[in-house]
Amino acid sequence: MRMNLIDYEEAVRLIYSSLPQNIGVQRVWLYDALNHILAEDIFAPFNMPECRRLAMDGYIFSFSQIQEILSHSQDEVFCFKVHATLAAQSDWEEFQEPVVLKAFTGARLPIWGDCLVLIEEIIRTQDEQIWISRKILENLKPLKHIREKGENFSVGEILLQKGTHVQAAEIGLLASLNQLFVQVYQQPKIAILCGGNELVDIGESPSQSHFVRSINNHLLYSLVLQEGAIPLTYPLFKDDKKEALELLQQALQQADLILFSGGMSYGDFDLIPYLLESQAQKVYFYGVNMKPGKPTAYATINDKPLLGLAGFPNATYMGFYLFARPIINALKGSTSQNTTFYATLLQDFFKDDPRVEFRPAFIQLKDGQFYASLENKKHIHSAAINNLCGENSGFVIAKKNHYKKGEQIEIIPNRQL
Q: Where are the domains of the chain?
A: 6-24+186-331, 27-48+152-185, 53-147, 341-413
151 Cβ contact list (under 8 Å, min separation 6) = 48, 49
Mean pLDDT confidence for 213-235: 95
The 10s digit of each residue's pLDDT in 249-262 is 999 999 999 999 87
The 10s digit of each residue's pLDDT in 320-353 is 999 999 999 999 999 999 999 999 999 999 988 9
Compute the Cα dihedral for 342, 225, 315, 285 and give only its sign: negative
Which residue in 69, 79, 66 sits closest to 139, CA to CA?
66
53-147 fold: Molybdopterin biosynthesis moeA protein; domain 3 (2.170.190)
Please tell me the predicted confidence (pLDDT) of residue 93.
72
Bigger pLDDT: 286 vs 390: 286
Which residue in 248, 306, 259 sits closest to 281, CA to CA?
306
Please tell me the predicted confidence (pLDDT) of residue 234.
95
pLDDT for 266 beyond 70: no
The CA distance from 242 to 226, in Å, is 32
pLDDT band (50, 70, 90) for residue 265: low
27-48+152-185 fold: Molybdopterin biosynthesis moea protein, domain 2 (3.90.105)
Residue 328, classed as helix, strand or coil, is helix
Residue 29, classed as helix, strand or coil, is strand
The 10s digit of each residue's pLDDT in 345-390 is 999 999 889 999 998 899 999 999 999 998 876 556 665 777 778 7
Compute the Cα dihedral for 100, 103, 108, 113 and give only its sign: positive
CA 148, 150, 153 angle in degrees (round to 5)?
A: 135
DSSP letter for 355, please: S
β strands within 325-376, DSSP E: 341-345, 349-350, 356-366, 369-373
Mean pLDDT confidence for 234-251: 90
Mean pLDDT value across the chain? 91
The CA distance from 216 to 195, in Å, is 10
pLDDT band (50, 70, 90) for residue 2: confident
Q: How far is CA 228 from CA 13, 34, 215, 416, in A?
A: 23, 9, 21, 16
Which residue in 233, 305, 312, 332 sits closest to 22, CA to CA?
332
Mean pLDDT confidence for 99-125: 94
The 10s digit of each residue's pLDDT in 23-56 is 999 999 999 999 999 999 999 999 999 999 999 9
pLDDT band (50, 70, 90) for residue 197: confident
What is the greatest pairwise CA distance in the chain? 101
Class of domain 341-413: mainly beta
Q: Give the bridge partners for 366, in sequence order.
A: 369
Q: What architecture (CATH level 2) is domain 6-24+186-331?
A: 3-Layer(aba) Sandwich (3.40)
Residue 231's CB is within 10 A of a number of other CB atoms, namely 19
C-alpha distance across the termini of the chain, in Å: 41
The CA distance from 85 to 406, in Å, is 64
Any alpha helices (H) in 89-184, and if so which ranges?
Answer: 134-138, 168-176
pLDDT for 125 beyond 60: yes
pLDDT band (50, 70, 90) for residue 178: very high
Residue 26, classed as helix, strand or coil, is strand
Please tell me the predicted confidence (pLDDT) of residue 268.
47
Please tell me the predicted confidence (pLDDT) of residue 382.
60
Q: Which residues of 8-24 are buried (b: 16+ CB within 10 A; e: fewer)?
A: beebbeebeeeebebbe
